[in-house]
Structure 1
Amino acid sequence: MLSRGSYSKIIGTLVVEEPLDVRGYPLAPPGLQLEQVHIFVRHGERTPVRIRMTDPPASLPERWQMCSAARQFSEAVDLTVPTAPSQRTLWFKKAVETEGGSTAPGLWHVLSLTDLGRETTFSFGRALRKLYVDRLGFLPKVLQHESQAYFRLPSTLRSTYVDRTIESLEQIVYGLYPPTQCAANVVPPIFTRNRVEDNLVSNILGCPKLGLLEEQFTEAAAARWNPRLEGLDKKLSKYIKGKPIRIDGQPRASGILDSVRSAAAHGIPVPPEFWDPEIVNLLETAVSDEWFSLKTEEGRRLGIGRLLADISARMLSKVVQGNKDPLKILVHSTHDSTLAALCATFDVFDEKWPPFTSSVTFELFKKASRPEPRTAFQALLGERWRTHTSLDDYYIRMRYKNRNMVLPLCAEEGKHLPGSPEFCTLSAFQRRVKELTPVNWASECGPRT
């Protein structure tokens, strides 16, 4: 395994962490100006979904004591009993106990952000600052309070409703705009949405039809991959009490991989078989096919279409309003499934489990216009004279795992910047998004129970 200071953390061929690479970021060709950035980042390292593989010979931890950071919180309360005049907050600590009533320092729930996850997401925020503030000069050094309305700030920060993504975004914001880099009384707001309304995830709670489609995808993946996974039984079954390795097994193949990934990310020794590239590749490809591959147009539309529509609308607002729209960067704290869905929807998914703190970025660029001679009549109009702006003067670049994505939808001549196929015309991008946008999401999803 590479050291924690390395570019990415890898077990076998399985990347478990993917920091943002500032130094290797490729500048846009001359003549393109960055206008807006949409970032979707997976949360930091966490504890596993369930406690598995604790018996020898796997011997993974039964207790994950990896949350030693101060778990203190301050909440405003309406005090109704006499107190000291300065006592306006309630202080408390959170702790976890086992079924038997015992506890231990740093013990925390499954699926919780760990101290390492806080560290890496804070580092991600610092990397954002180094890139977009220090290197590119795209964002202001100090976050100013431009209006009482939160949306007038140059950044919008949103998370799914899950604790680990909210906590990750808090760390990212602290790295991007710490209090010392915020004007007086400016507190960057973090937004979440109601679970039924959230579009940062494939929302099966709000869309029963999507849940049915995902069940069908899982059944198809099991039929496709279980015969091939049989070949791993002799090597891996000893770590799960002799049970077979299957997509729909007990435990599921995804659960086995999740436990291994979570352990490896925290430097916990894992069985040597998981260093074998052939084993890791087969297991990871099978699990990614089950969980992350959106295989039908309907699944893509219901799963990620609304989010793409939001991205498109924000970009169009920037195109139409120009500098009157102050929004420059949008940071979304989300999950592996969202990153994979974005990539799969644009047919650039690599069939690998998205690592912790990996990110998908959509950058909006504008073609720098050359000043043209104005007629006498135009000169008289002064500021009221405007040149016509075409969507083809704008380009989208999608990046994932620190690499540019060449979108198949922009492969044809005229749909990308000449000589730079990774720069898709905004018009081609928006046409595809329109195809993926549900006309009536609630109606297409079917009635909720």
Structure 2
Amino acid sequence: MHLPGTSTEPVQSHKVSHAAIEVDTYPVAPPELELEQVHIYVRHGERTPVGIRMAAPPASIPEHWMMCKTARRFRAAVAGTTTGHPGGVHLGHTNPQEEELSIRKIVERSDGTHNEGECLLGELTDVGRQSTFSFGQGLRDLYVSKLAFLSDTIESHGETYFRSTNMPRTFESLQQVVHGLYPNSKCAPGISPHILIRNGKDENLIGNTYACKRLETLLVGFAQAAASGWNHTLEPLDKKVSKYIGGNPIRLDGKPRASGILDTVRAAQAHGIKVPVEFEEKGVIELIEKAVVNEWFAGYKTEEVRRLGMGRLLGDLSRKMQHKAINGSQDPLKIAIHSTHDTGIAGLCETLDVYDEKWPAFTAAITFELFRRRHDASQGQSPFQTILNAFSSEDQNDSAEHYVRMRYQNRNLVLPLCSEPGSHLPGSPEFCTLAAFTERVRELTPTDWESECAAR
């Protein structure tokens, strides 16, 4: 049992909360299809809770987490000084010499004390760094070693695209993923992978309530409705868990909120920290999870929230796949990796009607794979059909010859949007035609996002 306010080290046999990429069981596409492009959306790695909860006895979940030693030392590029001017000041100098400054980051507590290796609230931990690095290694094992889809060495920036939200835990997670996929020894001289970040108003890897007031209003409304509908359902848990939250009832809008309790429990379990036995009971944690999932994501069952929350992201995805389909090898992009949050992962799944109603695990990942029908795939067709194909007005590289497969946590997903005959590869419903996919995305993409986001 951990005393309140004390530090703790992760136990060696911590409970793993992320799902590694399963390379050996990866389902290779039918032989008539060839992989052309991959888009990955991955939640950041294991982190500390975003708030201090249940630190007092009898829960005694630590307030301070000593699990951030790996990244405490780093080097920063700074403008250096040169001789030739008094004091080394570059008056009017537009190109100062760069130097590297070695820095050690340490968290200071409110009483002025500090301990090296302590994590900030919501910070990626050493466990999270390892799991995201392993995720990148899994990508390399799959797309470089097994499928020979990606180059062994990154020679230019055109083949890859890396983007993160502007949060330290997602940016650092993506750094680890990229390093696992292409370690320094696999980067050509002079090539350093670029990680892109957008300004807040342009961010679309999550439902952007910061820049979209209408979305914020809608999601607040759904959260309030969830509290009205689910709080009564949570009442039977009070006798089991209230003693761990200061005697308060557990409610979606309680103190602490049910979502905060779930956050603390899941973070602790991911790091091998003991939680009260009641939170390990399937009936308890599943009921809390169902209520919280409804609070956060029920809105994505509606068309307006889907458009405002995930429409722009899906629009970006669709445009890149269409560009590849039209331009083929003239478009060098092969893999795009996006580092996002649980809300982005769940929002995407719910928008496409394939959400499993479970809170996304750390490093949970969605993959969209674009396939092209091979040009020799007409073998076995009748001569008449072959002639028709040859004289078709549709380019052999356009959406009529391309398919999209969505995968989540090593599972193929059958998208309801392409369930009709003609909207997927015959006999393989998980391969949605690019035409059907882009048509549905077109319906979800706002024509004027800012106008639709205006408060009403």
- Shorter-chain TM-score above 0.5: yes
> What is the aligned partner in structure 1 of residue 129 from structure 2?
118
> Aligned-pair distance for 1:343?
0.4
SS at match of 2:201: coil
Instruction: Please give the residue correspondences for 1:211-226 in structure 2 after superposition, counting only pairs within 5 Å.
Output: 211-226=216-231
Give distance in 1, aligned partners of 2:395 and 2:305: 41
In the aligned structure 1, how far is the partner of 2:138 from the partner of 2:397? 33
Q: Which residue pairs with 1:302 in the alignment?
A: 308
1:22 offset after TM fit, Å? Answer: 1.4
How far does residue 5 in structure 1 lie from its aligned partner after superposition?
8.5
Distance 1:53 1:26, change over 3 A: same
Partner of 2:140: 129
Match of 2:389 in 1: none
Task: State the distance in 2 between where 1:362 and 1:196 align.
Answer: 25
Q: Deviations over 1:73-124 (max 9, x none)?
A: 2222222475999982222111111110111121121010000000000000
Q: In the alignment, is the contact (CA less than 8 A) between 1:20 and 1:358 conserved in 2?
A: no
- Per-residue Cα deviation, 1:379-411 (whole angstroms, up to 9, x for no partner): xxxxxx996444231111001111111111111
Identity %: 53
- Encode CA deviations 1:202-234: one digit per residue, 9 max, x unaligned: 111111111001101101111121110001101
* TM-score relative to the length of structure 1: 0.90
Match of 1:379 in 2: none
Q: How far, CA to CA, are the matches of 1:34 and 1:87 in structure 2?
A: 43
1:42 counterpart = 2:50: no
- Classify 1:240/1:426 alpha carbon distance in 2 versus 1 (closer, same or farther; 3 Å): same
Stretch deviating more after TM superposition (288-297 or 112-121): 288-297
The answer to whether residue 412 in structure 2 is matched with residue 404 in structure 1 is yes
Which residue of structure 1 aligns with residue 321 of structure 2? 315
Superposition deviation, residue 156 in structure 1: 0.2
Q: Which moves more between the two structures, 67-76 or 36-45? A: 67-76
Residue in structure 2 matched with residue 340 of structure 1 by the alignment:
346
In the alignment, what sits opposite 2:274?
269
Q: State the TM-score, normalizing by the size of structure 2.
A: 0.89
Of residues 270, 278, 291, the one that matches 2:296 is 291
CA distance in 1, matches of 2:264, 2:378: 61
What is the alpha-carbon distance in structure 2 between the residues aligned to residue 35 and residue 225 of structure 1? 45
Superposition map of 1:432-447 within 5 A: 432-446=440-454
- Match of residue 439 from structure 2: 431
Letter in 2 for 1:232: L
Moved more, 76-85 or 336-345: 76-85
Deviation, structure 1 residue 19: 1.7
Match of 2:171 in 1: 166
Contact 2:44 2:132 in 1 (8 A): yes
- Relative to structure 1, the CA distance from residue 326 to residue 76 in structure 2 (aligned partners, 3 Å threshold; closer, same or farther) is same
In structure 2, relative to structure 1, the CA distance for the partners of 1:446 and 1:87 (3 Å cut) is: closer
The one of 233, 240, 257 equivalent to 1:228 is: 233
Q: Is the 8 A contact 2:406 2:430 kept in 1?
A: yes
In structure 1, distance between residues paired with 2:302 and 2:144: 40
> Cα distance 1:193–1:87, how it changes in 2: closer, same or farther (>3 A)?
closer
Distance 1:324 1:141 in 2: 20
- In structure 1, the partner of 2:93 is none
**What's the RMSD between the two structures over aligned residues?**
2.2
The separation in 1 between residues aligned to 2:12 and 2:143, in whole angstroms, is 24
| Structure 2 Cα separation of the partners of residues 22 and 437 of structure 1 | 34
Indicate the SS of the match to 2:372.
Answer: strand
Which of 274, 279, 282 is the aligned partner of 2:287?
A: 282
Provide the residue aligned with 2:119 in structure 1: 108
* 1:175 and 2:180 correspond: yes
AA aligned to 1:103 is H
Give distance in 1, aligned partners of 2:402 and 2:97: 54
Aligned residues of 2:32 and 2:377 also touching (Cα < 8 A)? no
Q: CA deviation at 1:237?
A: 0.5
1:197 matched to 2:198? The reply is no
Q: Please state how far the C-alpha of 1:367 moved relative to its aligned partner.
A: 1.1
CA distance in 2, matches of 1:94, 1:389: 51
Given that 2:45 and 2:129 are in contact with CA atoms closer than 8 Å, whether structure 1 keeps it comes out as: yes
Amino acid at match of 1:107: E
Residue 393 to residue 276, structure 1, CA distance change in 2 (3 Å): same
Alignment correspondent of 1:51: 52
Aligned length: 422
Per-residue deviation at 1:67?
A: 0.2
